[in-house]
Amino acid sequence: MENLDYARLQMAFTLGFHIIFACIGMVMPFFMVVSHKKWLNTRKPIYLKLTKAWQRGVAIFFVTGAVSGTALSFELGMLWPEFMKHAGPVIGMPFSLEGAAFFVEAIALGFYLYGWKKLPETFHWITGIIVGISGVISGILVVSANAWMNSPTGFDVVNGAYVNIDPVKAFLNDAWFTQALHMTLAAFAATGFAVAGLHAIQILRNKRPDLHKAAFKIAIVFGAVAALLQPISGDLSAKDVAQRQPVKLAAMEAHYETQKGAPLYIGGIVDAENKTVSNKLEIPKALSFLAFGDFDAEVKGLNDFPEEDLPPVPVVHYAFQAMVGIGSLLMLAALIYFISLKKKSWLNNKKYWWLFAILTPLGFVAVEAGWVVTEVGRQPWIVYNIMRTSEAVTPMPGLKFSFYLYVTVYAILAAMVTWLMHRQIKVLNNSIG
């Protein structure tokens, strides 16, 4: 592999790592404040216990997210100096606002974590809400910077220089809203199902079921609502991609031939050399409808784009299938949860808890798959149709070593955080009261 490949792998790996921690750090504070509010309202000790346990989770994930985010803010420049040299000023606005939002989050978290019994109760609780809100705002701002890479606006390229920069226009680019909406909902769905799933596992093990059922209920409501809303946002995203990045849409669907009334492929094995897809399930005219809202609309196929502008089709297609598949599964589980509110007998059925236990990691698999679709689907461009990834990479050789270093360090970190969470749950289960 070349230097460029290692740079891309390192970026993918560190982003993939950061996304999980950032999502949890952004959504868990909401679970925490709901539990905290229940404690303030009911004074039932299990809610206090739960709030404190989640608070530790928030602290650990926030810091891991923060340090991996700090690393990323440097890595953008270290791996892609030419990209940052030109694009840095253009997408500076969301990043500088993100810095501010992140700062507010850190300040509010300082108040929250250390404010027990020291701050007035309501004020203390509100600082927890500020942690959550500023976290979500940070996420939206970062995603809007990424959206600019998919939908670059707010500047002109003259002799290789980026001139006439309008940072506000670049910030509010065509893709920012659909991408930010999709990611925010995804964060809530993935974290909601992951946290609910972990507590479902404890319920199955019959450890402190009172406590874990209370926890499950808070987390699943966030996850289920987000999972039910996600298809609407997904539809907006698909139509947006169809308009702006037809080649990405074609790769997502492994759609090679330009066609009117194009069918939607579900599953399938992509043969990139022969440009065919086998073993797929075909829904006639569905792709045309989903992409353009018209059953007979023409969808441009991969064969009609220049070879050098094509992303790696199989990766994008499989990732897209994984994302949509898991999304549908979570939506179904969300429905099951809401029905179980009426049919209380389900709660005594082990299969019910098994379902949520199995879904634990899947939301995050979908989040990662979604980012693969966005990022790999944009290749070979780092800024769509403006700058190629190969033009942006650092001239420093030997990125291989940097890549292995990051993989080692982050793998150890991930193992440690998992182990810490395991210990938290153990302590919680053995607690009295």
- Amino acid, single-letter form, for residue 12: A
Counted residue by residue, the chain has a size of 433
Is residue 365 a contact residue for another protein (CB under 8 A)?
no
Options 15, 133, 165, 336; binder of another protein; rule CB under 8 A: 165
C-beta of 81 vs 231, nearer to another protein = 81
The answer to whether 108 and 137 are in contact (CB under 8 A) is no
Collapsed DSSP state (helix, strand, coil) of residue 264: strand
Q: What is the Cα–Cα distance from 275 to 336, expressed in whole angstroms?
A: 40
# binding residues, another protein (CB under 8 A):
70
- Amino acid, single-letter form, for residue 325: G
Q: Which residues pair with 278 in a beta bridge?
A: 269
| Shortest reach from residue 316's CB to another protein, in Å | 29
Binding mask 401-420 for another protein (x = CB under 8 A): -x--x---x---x--x---x
C-beta of 60 vs 227, nearer to another protein = 60
Which one of the spans 164-172, 190-198, 216-224, 240-248 is the region binding another protein (CB under 8 A)? Answer: 164-172
Phi, psi of 327 (to 5 degrees): -55, -45
| Shortest reach from residue 26's CB to another protein, in Å | 15
C-beta of 80 vs 256, nearer to another protein = 80
Which one of the spans 27-35, 161-169, 192-200, 262-270 is the region binding another protein (CB under 8 A)? Answer: 161-169
| Shortest reach from residue 327's CB to another protein, in Å | 32
Is residue 198 a contact residue for another protein (CB under 8 A)?
no
Is residue 387 a contact residue for another protein (CB under 8 A)?
no
Options 1, 269, 283, 396; binder of another protein; rule CB under 8 A: 396
Is residue 70 a contact residue for another protein (CB under 8 A)?
yes
Q: What is the Cα–Cα distance from 355 to 416, expressed in whole angstroms?
A: 27
| Shortest reach from residue 58's CB to another protein, in Å | 10
What residues numbered 84-113 form the site for another protein, per CB under 8 A?
Answer: 84-86, 88-90, 92-93, 95-97, 99-100, 102-104, 106-111, 113
Options 77, 261, 312, 361; binder of another protein; rule CB under 8 A: 77
Options 163, 274, 279, 342; binder of another protein; rule CB under 8 A: 163
C-beta of 77 vs 209, nearer to another protein = 77
Going from the C-alpha of 177 to that of each of 221, 223, 381, the distances in angstroms are: 24, 21, 21
Collapsed DSSP state (helix, strand, coil) of residue 387: strand
Is residue 328 a contact residue for another protein (CB under 8 A)?
no
The answer to whether 8 and 389 are in contact (CB under 8 A) is yes
- Amino acid, single-letter form, for residue 335: L
Is residue 429 a contact residue for another protein (CB under 8 A)?
no
Report the sign of the C-alpha dihedral through residues 180, 181, 182, 186, in that order. positive
Q: What is the Cα–Cα distance from 218 to 192, expressed in whole angstroms?
A: 9
Collapsed DSSP state (helix, strand, coil) of residue 260: strand
Q: How many helices (H) and strands (E) does the chain have?
A: 15, 8
Is residue 273 a contact residue for another protein (CB under 8 A)?
no
Is residue 306 a contact residue for another protein (CB under 8 A)?
no
Give buried/exposed letters for 384-397 (b at 16+ CB in 10 A, else e): beebbbbbbbbeee
Burial class (CB in 10 A: 0-12, 13-18, 19+), 191: buried
* Angle, helix 362-376 to helix 176-204, in steps of 10 degrees: 160
- Summarize as ranges the residues that interact with another protein (CB under 8 A): 52, 56, 59-60, 62-64, 66-71, 73-78, 81-82, 84-86, 88-90, 92-93, 95-97, 99-100, 102-104, 106-111, 113-116, 118-119, 163, 165-168, 394-398, 402, 405, 409, 413, 416, 420, 423-424, 426-428
